[in-house]
Structure 1
Amino acid sequence: MQDTLQDPARTGGRFDPAQLRKTVLDMAFAGSTVHIGCAFSLIEILAVLYRKHLRYPGNDPRAALRDYLVLSKGHGVMAQYACMYEMGWLQRQDIDRYFADGSDLKGLSDSRIPGLEVTSGSLGHGFSVGVGLALGAKLRKTDQKVYVIVGDGEINEGPIWEGMLFAAHHGLDNLVVIIDENGFQAMGKTEDVLRLGNLQAKFDSFDFDAVNVDGHDEDALDAAIGSLLANGSGKPKAIVAKTVKGRGVGFMEHDNIWHYTRLNDKTYADAVAALGEKL
């Protein structure tokens, strides 16, 4: 077995949220693809993870002792691609040819791409993969961490609750579940489709350490992750991140049409202009 993990990677960029959103817009426009709003709600979550917490020895996305980032909410993958571009794992041509004929990058997370740990899109299943990875790390006695990002609409799925029971039973305190609670799913508001109630209370009742946080406050996200992992409780962790679907571009915020709407010349230009001085 190799020695202990290296410090978190610092290579590849600043993980600036505005720039990450611009990269998502570039990809979506180049590929005439959807899922912009649900990628935007993830940006600060992913920026904090890549900047401060994920460990990739040698900046290698396939390093044996890497931490795992499981994007169970696989349709938000453009946000992760934007971070992978800053890590140096993707090139500009990958961004500019997103979804083109011959491109390796798909519109959903695909485990064949180094840096993506799970093939997801059939919602609810990626979480179970993350639970299995956390158990594997425990059995191997490594200090690897597993971060799983799920959508609030995804929590409608039964495997999420089964995985929560399993994680608590096995004391998987190396597992951090981050819920992107943007209030929407594909066909409407989560409150209207299937009411979820108080997610922090639900995770608490399943014997997780759970907290609520503003999912766009990078300092709060960083502090929540650090304090949960350091608390020594022996329980799996959950962060309910309150987010805004379409965050960063005013005309996209809270508008579920941007789950499935494609950019045209005008809306692309307007969205880039909306990022404005943040770039």
Structure 2
Amino acid sequence: MLSKEDIKELKKFAIQIRIETLKEIGHLGFGHLPGAMSIVELLAVLYGKIMKINPQNPKWEERDWFILSKGHAGPSLYATLALKGYFPKDWLLTLNKGGTLLPSHTDKNLTPGIDMTTGSLGQGMSTALGVALGHRLSKKDNYVYVMLGDGETQEGQVWEGALYGGNAKIDNLTVFVDYNKQQLDGYTYEINDLGDLRKKWEDFGWYSLEVDGHDIEAIYNAIIKAKNIKNKSSVIILNTIKGKGVSFLEGKVAHHVKVKQSEIEEAIEKLEKELKILEEGES
């Protein structure tokens, strides 16, 4: 159970992730900002409270794994890793530029703390299952987390993995679905309706939960519940808002966007005020 102080610290961490992500994409002038912002609270909870990690040793054999199958949300993961000390924060300003170690889609061969190269949607699901199964066969207690986009779940590879995961009962794995109701060029219900996602996963044999993906405490409690379920694979549907926390993007239909420096500065200013309010509450 999270204490009030834990919740406050994780909220602060989430705001810091948003600020650094805005700086990254603002410096570049374009990027996958909306979809990067909808997973921030999950990243704050995982890297701030849940996962076994060692930023000084990113390849630590005992670490928990995080696989960002929707690899285009890399900027928010990079911000998280930089804030945790995996690499210097000034790397963030090289996002997607020539010679960068932070490409638009995550690459484990370039970036410390990235566990899998992703971006070709659907593949993260298969790899996460393989990694988790490998840990189980090796009798390791490493845990694996994988983030899918909701549009990504239209990929057949995801449901092949869901069928296998439900039958294999891989209980050292939790799948998250970033259910922000949008994909590259519109709303999911208009393009290829997903129906009742939680029920679909349940029908495939998974322990299935659905929570507010921007509620720190709800996310944490759902992860703990999932980890306590034995002999069953688990999935958590995160109801989120694309562009969450960014005034000029929140809730709008957008995927890859161009941004103005004035917009970025205004959004950062609002977030810094929120952060100050939280910090002043400590004094």
The alignment partner of 2:128 has SS state of helix
Equivalent in 203, 206, 211 of residue 205 of structure 1: 203
Q: Deviations over 1:74-127 (max 9, x none)?
A: 010111111101111121220122223221110111121221111111111111
Is 1:275 matched up with 2:258? Answer: no
Report the more deviating stretch, 248-257 or 74-83. 248-257
- Aligned counterparts, 1:25-40, within 5 A: 25-40=22-37
Q: Which residue pairs with 2:101 in the alignment?
A: 104
Aligned to 1:3: none
Q: Is 2:8 the partner of 1:18?
A: no
* RMSD after superposition: 1.6
Aligned to 2:164: 166
Residues 176 and 238, structure 1, Cα contact 8 Å, conserved in 2: yes
Q: Distance in 2 between matches of 1:240 and 1:102?
A: 36
Give the CA deviation at 1:224.
Answer: 0.5
Preserved contact between residue 57 and residue 65 of structure 1 (Cα < 8 Å): no
Q: Distance in 2 between matches of 1:83 and 1:200?
A: 28
Cα deviations by residue, 1:196-247 (Å, 9 ceiling, x for unpaired): 0011100100000001000000101000100111133x10000000000000
The aligned amino acid for 1:264 is K
CA shift for structure 1 position 66: 1.0
SS at 1:252 equivalent = coil
Match of 2:278 in 1: none
Partner of 2:205, secondary structure, is coil
Matched, 1:185 2:193: no
Q: Does 1:93 align with 2:85?
A: no
> Any idea what the Cα deviations from partners look like across 1:231-276, whole Å, max 9, x if unmatched?
33x100000000000001232111123x221212221122223324
Deviates more, 1:93-102 or 1:56-65: 56-65
| Cα separation, 2, equivalents of 1:120 and 1:205 | 27
Query: How many positions carry a matched residue from both structures?
Result: 266
- Deviation of 1:58 (Å): 7.1
Structure 1, unaligned runs of 5 or more = 1-12
Looking at structure 1, the residues matched to 229 and 159 of structure 2 have their Cα atoms a distance apart, in angstroms, of 24
Q: How does 1:215-230 map to 2 (within 5 A)?
A: 215-230=213-228
- For residue 261 of structure 2, the aligned residue among 243, 250, 265 is 265
In 2, Cα distance between equivalents of 1:35 and 1:179: 17
Do 2:242 and 2:250's aligned partners in 1 also have CA atoms closer than 8 Å?
Answer: yes
The one-letter amino acid paired with 1:123 is L
Aligned residues with identical type, % of pairs: 34
Letter in 2 for 1:164: A
